[in-house]
Structure 1
Amino acid sequence: MKKILLLATLIFSMGVAFASSITDDHLTGYIDDSHCGGSKTPMCTPATRVACAKQCIKGGATAVLVVGDKVYKISNQKAVLEYAGKNVTIDGKITGDSIEVTKVIETKS
């Protein structure tokens, strides 16, 4: 009886650990460049943000996700480059202040 209970507990624990490792976090914000992203003094207006972000990323800055006052580094840059300066909802795995993007959806402002 003890072996069955131990086995059931082990299987349940493994299932919970597996389920939590495959879930994505959902964040809504905008893609900006690492030079301007989250700056206390806005470097551009929402109307010029796309052109500004594209230019800065082309100049060597990395893309970041800005959600309110929080700025997330993006570990897989290629997944978001076409959304530079745009409002997005992102699914991904958050680790500290970094996110690995699995899905990007452009949203209306």
Structure 2
Amino acid sequence: MKAYLFLALAIASEIAATSMLKASNGFTKLYPSIGTAIGFAIAFYSLSLSLQQIPLGVAYAIWSGVGTAITAVIGIVIWKETASLSTAIGIVLIIAGVVVLNMKGAAH
């Protein structure tokens, strides 16, 4: 269970870092740039700790899939990026893929 808490921290840190990456404006703004570096450092460290108990394929699928889906929603809500049917379908497919990989991981 502790491994999944580290994975959740990795996801949250990656989402925050990616949001700061957008705010950094190509690393031209200091504080968002620092936030990006710190966020990704925490994300990768936390992910590495989760990998001590969670299989790589499962952990990475959850980390990247959930992070991508939530980041896409943040892009739409906070950054006013365009939402489309293909965006919604893509997010649903990402979530479905994470669910399928977790079912595979739970079976072993």
Tell me the TM-score range normalised by the shorter chain: under 0.3
- Rg larger in 1 or in 2? 1
Length-normalised TM-score, structure 1: 0.22
* Bigger helix share: 2
TM-score (norm 2): 0.22
Question: Higher strand proportion, which one?
Answer: 1
